[in-house]
Amino acid sequence: MNIGKLYQVKNLYWMIYPSKDVSKYFNCNVSYISPNSIFVFLEKDGEFIKILSTNGEVGWIYLADFFKDDIEEMNQ
């Protein structure tokens, strides 16, 4: 994945967390991106990536290796 590029979700729903701190997942508000959604890739930290959604939400999604095929770079 390349910082600043647009990506599209193919089939899955992805939870957007306000923090990449796993212990805070159960005590926070989360949103999601749905299939066919587009986002901008902002930052990477291990298996977490920071995104900007088309709704203007900035947050982190957990991108495990076995789900990476669900996200594809948009041709610009």
User: Using one digit for the tens of pLDDT, what is the confidence trace for 16-71?
Assistant: 988 887 676 667 778 899 999 999 999 999 999 999 999 899 999 999 888 989 99
Average pLDDT estimate for 2-16: 93
For the chain, the domain total comes to: 1
The whole-number pLDDT of residue 19 equals: 85
The whole-number pLDDT of residue 35 equals: 96
Residue 41 lies in a domain: yes
Q: Which residues contact 27 (CB under 8 A, 6 or more apart)?
A: none
The whole-number pLDDT of residue 9 equals: 96
**What is the domain extent for residue 42?**
6-73
CATH number of the CATH domain containing 62 = 2.30.30.40
Distance between CA atoms of residues 21 and 12, nearest Å? 22
The whole-number pLDDT of residue 27 equals: 72
**Conformation bin of residue 16: beta by default, left when phi > 0, alpha when psi is -120 to 50:** beta
pTM of the model: 0.85
Q: Rounded to 10 degrees, what is the CA torsion of 11, 13, 14, 16?
A: 140
